[in-house]
A and B are shown apart, each in its own frame.
Chain A
Amino acid sequence: MEHIRMPKVENVRLLDRLSSRKAALGTLYLTATHVIFVENGSETRKETWVLHSQISSIEKQATTATGCPLLIRCKNFQVIQLVIPQERDCHDIYISLIRLARPVKYEELYCFSFNPKLDKEEREQGWKLIDLNEEYNRMGIPNNYWQISDVNRDYGVCDSYPTEVYVPKSATAHIIVGSSKFRSRRRFPALSYFCKDNNASICRSSQPLSGFSARCLEDEQMLQAIRKANPGGDFIYVVDTRPKLNAIANRAAGKGYENEDNYSNIKFQFIGIENIHVMRNSLQKMLEVCELKSPSMSDFLWGLENSGWLKHIKAIMDAGIFIAKAVAEEGVSVLVHCSDGWDRTAQVCSVASLLLDPYYRTVKGFMVLIEKDWVSFGHKFNHRYGNLDGDPKEISPVIDQFIECVWQLMEQLPCAFEFNERFLIHIQHHIYSCQFGNFLCNSQKERRELKIQERTYSLWAHLWKNRADYLNPLYRSDHSQTQGTLHPQMAPCNFLYKFWSGMYNRFEKGLHPRQSVTDYLMAVKEETQQLEEELGILQERLANLQKSQLDNDKDKSKQQDQSKQLGLFNSSNSLANTPQEYSSDLKSFPSRSPSQGDEEDSALILTQDNLKSSDPDLSANSDQESGVEDLSCRSPSGGGCLPSEDSGKDSDEAVFLAV
């Protein structure tokens, strides 16, 4: 609280990004965890809440006659433009936010104060929902070829690896330790995925410290052990996910890549995925395009191309596809690495796992996948997503790209995933929100030291509890698309990669389809379920009636109630009723027009544009009822984007979830 110089400013205007003429007047509040804007007047008192941890940048712009503009950009791609009347107030807010948005110790993060009113036992249960040992068991491990190793039990070998690591049975502690000394940050080859059907596996590591000529017997033995753990494979692929040039450059620093001559029976392959700095800049460029005010089609497409974003997404997908093919079609094991083996390697291993195994395409399985390839293997969440104040050059949208790859796959294979787009967006949101403890810190070791599980709640339990909101109505576990390895269109697939406006223009609701097929179908399915139940009851009653011809009067009223309930589709589609600005000419009319008497009127009509329903986007209001209505007017359960434990006082972040 000591950082808040100014807890409240009145007469602040919140601008609409799409239309400068739509501004809301209200009061700005600063709390220990949130920036809150509450609109004046109107019954709804629309509110906009932003978590400090979501803030990625704050920009104070030149003071104008109307006040001092403050631009807040968020990590979940929300952009908030405020105009504060007094320069001094604006400065205070700015200074406070700069500090609040960059906490210096973990204890300042929201998850340590967030209290969803669960008791201790519920919290513990929540953390137990995802169990990686169970997951490796599901894969069929341990078995004759693979075992769990305790070589890293005190993080003695590698401090960014988990304590429990799966390695080939023939890899002795000596080999592991030897190999780890020959790998960047001692990240030795360990199992990421095992394919029960053909014993092929995906292992991951960091780059070898080969320099120009160095070699390491234990590392060579390690790779051989991986190959031998797959009796059907004559060789293994070693996939270096970096562009060749980058890998070569690393050799000068005593790092590098495997020399095919030194390792027996490996096939070495480069797959050029760019590094975190290129990706950060690419996202930056794409977001600039998203922020353009009324861009032309050319501005947009040119900017999208220029950002290179989709090219990078495709590169990650291509790498994942290559590995999935090697495992599923050739039955060959693969070792994947990049430099440190915690960014590109995590992306590629998880894409490949997702393609290979239908389990990861379920709600639970997807949580397991993130826990396995990202959380446990030391993806540096804190550095990459800037949870604590740190080096801005460490920040990069690595997991965002993985999440987008999943979305691109969902677009191509609409029946293959149990979850929907909302699930992905909420996960992205919470990777940055720091509301749950899952993604804190840079490694398992750090999380254990902080006692995360005792002091915070698990996101997975929260999502699992609300899983009904995240289901894809087109998913059927017995559908052909949900079986076995996925084969996305691979050859001429450029045009299959699309800009994801649901994510990057997430808060500009006006840009999205106004009716959601997903919500509609979910509502139909829910009704179907009710009908099935009623059918059962009716059939039973009929049977009874036919048998005994008893008087059943008393049930009658109940039935009528139910029939009313079923009429759930009403077309109250308020979003349909808001035009955009289609012409810049139109607004200039009144000034040009000769006396018609009603010019002011008409100008007004054009500017008002039915404010209330038109923009749930920026508002993300805490008025949950109306939020729900905007989201999914068709869902009888109210879309249910708002997690139930957020409905009380702690409902803060619920509002952002209003996807």
Chain B
Amino acid sequence: MEFAELIKTPRADNVVLHRPFYLAVEGTLCLTGHHLIFSSRRQDNAEELWLLHSNIDSIEKRFVGSLGTIIIKCKDLRIIQLDIPGMEECLNIASSIEALSTLDSVTLMYPFFYRPMFEIVEDGWRSFLPDQEFELLSSVTDEWRLSCINKEFSVCPSYPPVVIVPKSIDDEALRKVAMFRHGSRFPVLSYYHKKNGMVMMRSSQPLTGTNGRRCKEDEKLINATLRPGKRGYIIDTRSLSVAQQARAKGGGFEQEVHYPQWRRIHKCIERFNILQESLIKLVEACNDQSHNMDRWLSKLEASNWLTHIKEILTAACLAAQCIDREGASVLVHGTEGTDSTLQVTSLAQIILDPRCRTIRGFESLVVREWLQAGHPFQQRCAQSAYSNGKQKWEAPVFLLFLDCVWQILRQFPCSFEFNEQFLIMLFEHAYASQFGTFLGNNENERSKLKLPQKTMSLWSWVNRSEELRKFQNPLFEANSLVIWPSVAPQSLQLWEGVFLRWNRPSKFLDEAHEEMINIIKYNKELQAKVNALRRQLAEMETDDKM
């Protein structure tokens, strides 16, 4: 398909762009296959706005006489308005944007066309390989092995080709366990707690059904992770009643009789459309420009967004507490094991493992616990807060995770190597990107799409020093401790950096951030100067003596 067919009016002049907190600007609008480009060529203030079509969540058009207005709502929550003279031009442009922002085929997406303008220092597709991860693990324990059972994605379509499992369980047993778990997602290692050797595993629900099916291999597998005489905890991210209902559909949960060494805890993390609706309501509240304080608070409350944050964080803290404080191993699952499960396992690692609070460590966490673990990004992030089509699969699962990380970052502002901008950047790229990283729903799809060969990895771009600089937290000091966040309502806040980003002027806050960087930069410069002088003096003094 040629994009040109979709673009009947590639260019319109005298278009006026409106954005909150900026004066309206007049300029030229151009449409390309992947971008909407607005440029004002005023001498004093030449500026360009580039918007990926894939970033557009919804568009509305209005006409007053022959002046058309298009309101574009983006997945990154920004709203812009374009006034386009000429009815026909406006209609053409609107229909082009509509078509181009809802392309069916992944291979038509921008990452397949994007040619980087920067030098690639490190191929991000090869930055976080499972072998490296396993090597690290092997240096502290020999109880685990790397299994290639899923090499052709034949056992579990949503798992990566290699997974880490207990050494004592062979591939044959794994095959049987896979039959007993939803979507064949058998328990695999998620995290090894070096401090006490306890582990966190994740899987999908067991297929016990109504008649209480059991699977000896499954029991053996998860028991293999226990120390003699020790107990473990199963954290089911569903409420007990939801888990019980799942039995009617062939799912279920681990029966105590068959798993006597395990204690099951039910937490209640919402899924799919409930989360999506929550996001829609929250963003609606944030965009409400009325002056009524009561309405704002009740809308914030009614969105339930912070309730979800609290539930997810609480479950993650619980998992971390079981591991670190109780000295017990943990298995986490919900239904499919691709959403709430991953929120819990990844957040627990941020709490427990200082490495996950570094930039590279966090990237590695996103790769392991989200991309390789088979979180269906393409389905979940197809639409954002302005979607009207109620697609069943869309849900801001990853955004909720990032929000939770931000909450922890806010409570421990000196313990993270990255800053808020880093999290916002990941949110943006998960929804619309020039990079192939978040395309596809799992490793299987990514390999079929040949993403590593045909697209650029986000990590190739981020991990260059020019970019990294923007994402570094000036206050960072390695903190080797477990960090326990507070989940009390008083401690949780709306993530303004994302939800009010386009609705408030950020000048004062940006200046404060700038000031912070300067204070620390100046300190470091002085330190370097003093050290250099000391050395010079010491040398001169020894020379002197000689």
Contacts and interface: CB of A to CB of B under 8 A. Distances in A.
Contact of A539 (B292, B481, B533): B533
B76 to A, nearest CB: 18
Contacts of B537: 538, 541-542, 545, 552, 559
Contacts of A302: 298, 301
Interface in A517-548: 517, 520-521, 524-525, 527-528, 531-532, 534-535, 538-539, 541-542, 545-546
Contacts of A606: 321, 325-326
Interface string B304-342: 101101100011011011100111100000000000000
A474 B265 contact: no
A576 B317 CA distance: 13
B520 A531 contact: no
A576 B354 CA distance: 12
Contacts of B298: 301-302, 305
Contacts of A498: 493
A580 B490 contact: no
Nearest to A603: B326
A576 B410 contact: no
Interface residues of A, number: 95
A549 B290 CA distance: 74
A499 B231 CA distance: 42
Which of A300, A510, A578, A592 gathers most chain B CB within 10 Å? A300
Given A308-B294, A535-B529, A513 B541 contact: no
Contact of B293 (A310, A538, A549, A605): A310
Main secondary structure on chain A at its contact with chain B? helix
A68 to B, nearest CB: 29
Contacts of A305: 294, 297-298, 301
Contacts of A511: 486, 488, 490-491
B80 to A, nearest CB: 17
B545 A551 contact: yes
A556 B490 contact: no
A319 to B, nearest CB: 14
B296 A517 contact: no
Contacts of B317: 579-580, 582
Contact of A512 (B325, B482, B491, B511): B491
B390 interface: no
B479 interface: yes
A476 B159 CA distance: 54
A38 B503 CA distance: 51
B490 A290 contact: yes
A593 B290 CA distance: 54
Interface stretch (A205-213, A291-299, A335-343, A392-400): A291-299
Nearest to A560: B534
Nearest to A532: B526
Interface stretch (A219-227, A326-334, A411-419): A411-419
Interface stretch (B4-12, B208-216, B412-420, B425-433): B412-420
A594 B262 CA distance: 10
A514 B301 contact: no
Contacts of B327: 602, 605
A605 B464 CA distance: 44
Contacts of B229: 596-598
A347 interface: no
B504 interface: yes
Contacts of A493: 291
Contacts of B484: 576-580
A296 B489 contact: yes
Contacts of B291: 492-494
Given A571-B481, A596-B231, A510 B486 contact: yes
A535 B260 CA distance: 67
Nearest to A595: B260
B539 to A, nearest CB: 10
A304 B260 contact: no
Contact of B289 (A492, A501, A539): A492
A580 B544 contact: no
A262 to B, nearest CB: 32
A348 B493 CA distance: 28
A638 B282 CA distance: 42
Contact of B326 (A300, A528, A566, A602): A602
B237 to A, nearest CB: 13
B533 A542 contact: yes
A279 to B, nearest CB: 15
B265 to A, nearest CB: 5
A582 B508 CA distance: 36
A473 interface: yes
Interface residues of B, number: 90
Contact of A535 (B290, B326, B511, B530): B530
Given A542-B533, A583-B314, A528 B265 contact: no
A301 B512 contact: no
B520 A524 contact: yes
A153 to B, nearest CB: 45
Nearest to A522: B519
B483 A576 contact: yes
Nearest to A309: B293
Given A501-B491, A511-B491, A593-B263, A577 B481 contact: yes
Interface in B449-480: 475, 477-480
Given A513-B411, A528-B519, A495 B494 contact: yes
A624 to B, nearest CB: 24
B486 A571 contact: no
Contacts of A295: 488-489
Contacts of A549: 540, 544
B486 A580 contact: yes
B519 A415 contact: no
Interface in A348-400: none
B411 to A, nearest CB: 5
B443 to A, nearest CB: 32
A480 interface: yes
B541 A605 contact: no
Contacts of A298: 301, 304, 307
A586 B490 contact: no
A311 interface: yes
B318 A583 contact: yes
B280 interface: no
A479 interface: yes
A515 B527 contact: no
Nearest to A513: B411
B310 A297 contact: yes
B490 A528 contact: no
Given A298-B307, A538-B530, A582-B314, A414 B544 contact: no
Contacts of B511: 414-415, 479-481
30 contacts: A297-B304, A297-B309, A310-B297, A314-B293, A414-B509, A491-B289, A498-B493, A511-B486, A511-B490, A511-B491, A514-B411, A514-B412, A515-B415, A517-B516, A524-B520, A525-B519, A528-B519, A531-B523, A532-B526, A541-B537, A542-B533, A552-B544, A553-B541, A559-B534, A566-B527, A569-B477, A582-B317, A585-B265, A593-B231, A594-B260
Interface of A: 18, 290, 294-302, 304-305, 308, 310-311, 314, 412-416, 473-474, 476, 479-481, 489, 491-499, 501, 505, 508, 510-515, 517, 520-521, 524-525, 527-528, 531-532, 534-535, 538-539, 541-542, 545-546, 549, 551-553, 556, 559, 563, 566, 569, 571, 573, 576-580, 582-583, 585-586, 589, 592-594, 596-598, 602, 605-606, 634
Given A297-B301, A305-B301, A517-B414, 8 more contacts: A298-B304, A415-B508, A415-B515, A416-B508, A492-B504, A531-B526, A542-B536, A580-B484
Interface of B: 229-231, 260-261, 263, 265-267, 286, 288-298, 300-301, 304, 306-307, 309-310, 314-315, 317-318, 320-322, 325-328, 410-415, 475, 477-484, 486-494, 496, 500, 503-505, 508-509, 511-512, 515-516, 519-520, 522-523, 526-527, 529-530, 533-534, 536-537, 540-541, 544-545
Q: Which 3 A-B pairs have the closest CB atoms?
A: A300-B489, A414-B512, A305-B297
